[in-house]
Amino acid sequence: MLNIFALQQSISASFPKFQTLEKLLVQQSIVDILLLGTGLILFLVMFYVKIISFSEKEYRASGIAFIFSTIFFAPFLFLYLYDFPFKDIVSISLLAIVYLSIILLLLPIRPKAKACLPDRQGGFQIPKEKHDERNVMFSRNELEPGTEQFDSYYSNNADKKYLDDKFRENPGLLSPDSSMYHPFSFASAQANLEVIEALKPIVNGPVAEQEIDIEPSKISNYLKTWSKKLGAHSVGITELKDYHLYTHKGRGDLYGKEISNKQKYAIAITIEMDNEMMQTAPKGSVVMESTQQYLSSGTIALQLAYFIRNLGYSARAHIDGNYELICPLVARDAGLGEIGRMGLLMTPKLGPRVRIAVITTDIPLVIDKRKDFSSVIDFCGICKKCADVCPSSSISFNQREEIKGVLRWKINHESCFTYWCTSGTDCGRCMAACPYAHPNNYMHNFIRWGINNSYIFRRFALYMDDLFYGRKPKSRNIPSWIDI
C-alpha cells in the first residue's frame, strides 16, 4: 500500500515549500499564488481546448493544445518551486506579460472596415444592375446543346461559350465518371435532388379567402420561433427590394420569363450544414449534405409559405432550383450575416456553413435591422484561407472591387463550376476550411466573439487557426457509415 506519510516526507524533502498543507496555505506570497493560479488556469484552458478538439475529431488541434497545456504550465511551476536571484522580477514580468496580453486581446478595438453598412457605406452596397438568373452556372449547365435556348443564350453571350465548353468536357455533377464518385453518397444526393424537383411546383399556391387580422410583431415572432423549431439556425426579415430579384428566370419551365414580384417582405432562413460531412470536402458526403440542407431549408420555406397563405396572405417559397431572387443578398439585408471572400453569406455562428431559403410575402411583418458585420470584412481581408485551399484557384487573393455597384470579392464562377464537373460534387473545400465554420459551441463562439470584438484578436485568432488546424486543412475521410 502506498505510504502517504512517506510520500509527503519525500516531497517535503525535495520541495521545501510543500512541508505541510497548512504551511502551503499560509506561507505563500501573492506572487506565488498568482504564479500557481495563472499556470493552472492556462493549463486547464488548453486542456479544455484539447478535449473539445478531440471530440470534434480535430486531432492536430488536440495534440497542439496538449503540448501548449504543458508548455504554458511549466514556467509558472518552475518559478513557483525554485528560488533564485531576481526570481520576483522574473515572476512579475511573466505575469505582467500574460495579463497585459489577455487585456490587449479582449479590449474592444474596432477600426471599422470601409463600406460595410448603409450609413457609412458611401455606396457599394446596392447593386446598380440586377442579375439575370440565366447567367448563373446552374442555369448554363441545364442548357441542352442543339436546343433553341442553348443557341439563343450563346449567341447573346458568345464570351461565355468557350468557358462553358470547358465544364461540358468534364463528366458533370453526380456523374459516375467523376473523380469523387461514390455510389451511396451520390445516390443519396440524387435522391435529395429528386425530392426537391417534386417540390418545385408547389412554391406558390392559392390564398385563403378570408384574411386573418395579424399583429406584425406577433406573427414575426411566431414565424421565427416556428422556423427554429423546424430546424432553422437563424431567421431574419427584410423588405423585399427590387435589387434582390433576378431579371429573368434561368431554370425550369419558366426559363426566360421576366421576374416581377411585388410582395413587400422577404423572410430568410438559414440551416446548418453538418460539420463532419463538410470536413470531407470535396468528397461525396459534401454533395449529400448540401443537397440535404437545400431540401431541409426548402421544406421549412414551403411550410411557412403554406401557413401564411392559410392566413389569407400571399406567400411564395424560394427553394433550390426555383428562385426569383438572390438568397445571400436577402439574408444579408435581413441581418443574418455579411458576404465574405468566397461570395457566400457569412453568419456569426456558423460562417458560410449554412444553406439559405427565402419566403416572400405580403403578410404584415416587423423587419430586422441589418447588423454591423464589418469584422467579417476585416477578417476576410487578412484570412484568405478559402483562396489558399481552392483547388481551382477561383477565389481572389486581392482586395474587394466594385462589381455591378457592389464592393465585393471577385469569384471565378466558371473555374469553380468546372472543378465541380470534374469532382462530381459541389466541392465545398473553401467552406470547410473557413475559420468561421468551426462548430457552434462555447469554445468557437468565444473565438468568434473575439474576432467580432477586436482588431487585434482577429489577427491572433487567424494565427492560431493556422497553427491548430493548418493553413490548408486536410480533407477528412467519408464517415464510415456512408463508406460501406
Where do contacts with ligand SF4 occur on this chain (CB under 6 A)? 340-342, 379-380, 383-386, 390-392, 394-395, 416, 419, 427-430, 433-436
Nearer to ligand SF4, 236 or 435 (CB): 435
Pick the closer one to ligand SF4 by CB: 348 or 435.
Answer: 435
**Cα separation, 28 vs 368, whole angstroms:** 55
Task: Give the nearest distance from C-beta 199 to ligand SF4 in angstroms.
Answer: 25
Q: How far apart are CA 236 and CA 335, in angstroms?
A: 6
Query: 232 vs 395, which CB is nearer to ligand SF4?
Result: 395
Element (H, E) at 316: strand 315-318
How many angstroms separate the CA atoms of 222 and 50, rounded? 40
CB of 138 to ligand SF4, least distance (A): 13
Give the separation between CA 232 and CA 359, rounded to whole angstroms. 13
Report in angstroms how near the CB of residue 388 gets to ligand SF4 at its nearest.
8
CB of 434 to ligand SF4, least distance (A): 3
16: DSSP letter: G
- The distance of Cα 412 from the centroid of its chain, to the nearest Å, equals 20
Nearer to ligand SF4, 193 or 346 (CB): 346
φ, ψ of residue 367 to 5 degrees: the values are -85, 150
Min dist. Cβ of residue 119 to ligand SF4 (A): 23
Whole-angstrom distance, CA of residue 351 vs CA of residue 466: 17
Q: Which of 359, 313, 442, 360 is nearest to 55 (CA)?
A: 442
Closest CB 433 distance from ligand SF4, rounded Å? 6
Question: Smaller CB distance to ligand SF4: residue 39 or 337?
Answer: 337
CB of 189 to ligand SF4, least distance (A): 15
DSSP strand pairing (406-408 vs 401-403): antiparallel
Cβ–Cβ < 8 Å for 355, 290: yes
Helix segments in 245-397, DSSP class H: 275-278, 284-310, 327-333, 374-383, 385-389
Q: Residues near 331 by Cβ (< 8 Å), separated by ≥ 6?
A: 236, 268, 270, 337, 345, 356, 358
User: What is the Cα–Cα distance from 300 to 105, expressed in whole angstroms?
Assistant: 40
As given in the structure block, the three cell numbers for residue 302 are 414551403
Closer by beta carbon to ligand SF4, 107 or else 382:
382
Q: Which amino acid is at 387?
A: A
Least separation, in Å, of the C-beta of 417 and ligand SF4? 8
Residue 35 or 430 with smaller CB distance to ligand SF4: 430
Q: Write the DSSP string, 388-400.
A: HH-TT--B--S--
Residue 193 or 367 with smaller CB distance to ligand SF4: 193
Q: Which is nearer to ligand SF4, 264 or 384 (CB)?
A: 384
Contact 265, 214 (CB under 8 A): no
The secondary structure element, H or E, covering residue 270 is strand 265-272
Compute the least distance from the CB of residue 362 to ligand SF4, in Å. Answer: 35
